[in-house]
Amino acid sequence: MSTAKDTAKEIVSFRNVAKKYRGGSVGVENINVTIKEGEFVCFIGTSGSGKTTTMRMINRMIDPSKGTITFKGHNIRHYDPVKLRRTIGYVIQNNGLMPHMTIQENITLVPRLLKWPQEKMDKKARELINLADLPESFLDRYPAELSGGQQQRIGVVRALAADQDLILMDEPFGALDPITRDDLQELIKHLQEELGKTIVFVTHDMDEALKLATHIVIMDSGHVIQDDTPDNILQHPANDFVKDLLGEERLLQAQQNTLSVSDIMSTNPAKITLGKSLAEAIRTMSLRHVDYLLVTDDDNKLKGYIDLETINERYSKDASVSDIYNRTRMKFKKDSYLRDTSEKILKQGYKYVPIVDNDNYLIGTVTRASLVNIIYDAIWGKEELDNPDEIKLPASIAKGSDKS
């Protein structure tokens, strides 16, 4: 079922899954989603979109009325629901800690159900409280004595107590303040990236989804609208609903994040081949109104650049471009993302950077000016660009942003 090029094993798959409630109201319909090991999957949608229903079907909190769900290759119907739930981590909003159990008892709740020996549980409790970045003395306390953020940290690590590979999280940070939420988001990102846990995360917060997910499933009124990577969703929203969900601001910002340099490069760079004379170089510069030229060989492979200053210093009638050109300091491959490149260009003060394809053939340039346009869009929005006079440029960007 997984495509050949993806090596990661699938851990959960939905095939034509539907849930109809008594009385005929439809919970979800026609769900086809594959979750691979190590992924961070966000189910996102408005309330009533079926995102929580879909997630809760994985550990059989809700049974589907139609279709099959597999967990590690087996139909979940063949698992005993209680045993299945003990092998899948579960984190809910408002932490769901048992108020009458100590933190240690809460953390080792599933191991106790699995009847682990006491020593092993003690060790696990200490290991997990360290993972949660809380002092070991907290193990003897009760949940009410911890802050909301600390409680949810325990709620998160509790889901790992029996070494579960898959963790389900149902809007776990909805009730937390933004700073605490950031901390916890880092904690679970760590679980996914460092410990290789697969996380299925339900949220209605697009920022959260874009920040955490490697795979986003957008849902609306019981249907999957789009199922893709965050980058692809930002670049190619499936329909207006997805666009609305993302918001115009985010789409603009995302342009910078998901555009590749080849999307904004000018494909007609000022260039010259190695064998030409310097006089010819100067003529080309004046024709193109620039003070530099990219230097290529006869096959259009990028060799370096030459600028007016160098020519001035080292001019001689007999010299050709190949004698005095500079080796390229910086170039970008055509599919590198703007977000990785724009900062380098802006901070290091380059006016232009040549863009090459995988075989080092010159295919264009990205200039400071074209970059700055994108950044304006992201910072001030498109409308204000209609009145460019009113915009006060931040000094760092305004400086040296000439049109080359």
Partner 1 sequence: MINFLNQHGSELIIKTWEQIYISALALFLGILVAVPLGIILTRYEKTAKYVMSISSMLQTIPSLALLTLMIPIFGIGKLPAIVALFIYSLLPILRNTYIGMNKVNKNLIDAAKGLGMTTAQSIFKVEIPMAMPIIMAGIRLSAVYVISWSTLASYIGAGGLGDFIFNGLNLYNPSLIIGGTIPVSILAILTDYLLGKFEKKVTPVTKSGVKK
Residue 347 to residues 306, 328, 341, 368, 404, Cα–Cα distance (Å): 22, 18, 10, 11, 18
Q: SS in 3 state form for 89-126?
A: EEEECCCCCCCCCCHHHHHCHHHHHCCCCHHHHHHHHH
Q: Residues with Cβ < 8 Å from 97, sequence gap 6 or more?
A: 103, 106, 143, 151, 154, 155, 158
Site for partner 1 in 112-131 (CB under 8 A): 113
Q: How far is the CB of 144 from partner 1 (least distance, A)?
A: 5
Helix (H) or strand (E) holding 377: helix 368-380
Q: Residues with Cβ < 8 Å from 16, sequence gap 6 or more?
A: 30, 31, 32, 66, 67, 68
Number of H helices, E strands in the chain: 18, 17
Q: Which is nearer to partner 1, 112 or 288 (CB)?
A: 112
Q: Which is nearer to partner 1, 84 or 252 (CB)?
A: 84
For tokens 């050109």, name the residue: 325
Piece of the chain touching partner 1 by CB under 8 A; list 15-23, 108-116, 279-287, 299-307: 108-116
Piece of the chain touching partner 1 by CB under 8 A; list 122-130, 139-147, 244-252, 338-346: 139-147
Site for partner 1 in 65-104 (CB under 8 A): 82-86, 90, 92-94, 96-100, 102
CA distance 237 to 251: 9
Q: Which is nearer to partner 1, 168 or 224 (CB)?
A: 168
Taking the chain, what is the end-to-end CA distance rounded to the nearest angstrom?
A: 51
Q: How far is the CB of 15 from partner 1 (least distance, A)?
A: 23
Site for partner 1 in 154-173 (CB under 8 A): 158, 168
Q: Which of 6, 133, 136, 140 binds partner 1 (CB under 8 A)?
A: 140
CA distance 255 to 241: 18
Q: Which of 79, 142, 350, 380 binds partner 1 (CB under 8 A)?
A: 142
Q: How far is the CB of 91 from partner 1 (least distance, A)?
A: 9
Q: Which of 6, 63, 136, 145 binds partner 1 (CB under 8 A)?
A: 145
* Binding-site size, partner 1 (CB under 8 A): 28
Site for partner 1 in 47-66 (CB under 8 A): 59, 61
Q: How far is the CB of 146 from partner 1 (least distance, A)?
A: 11
The burial class, CB within 10 Å (0-12 / 13-18 / 19+), for 4 is exposed
Site for partner 1 in 168-197 (CB under 8 A): 168
**Would you tell me which residues interact with partner 1 (CB under 8 A)?**
59, 61, 82-86, 90, 92-94, 96-100, 102, 109-110, 113, 140-145, 158, 168
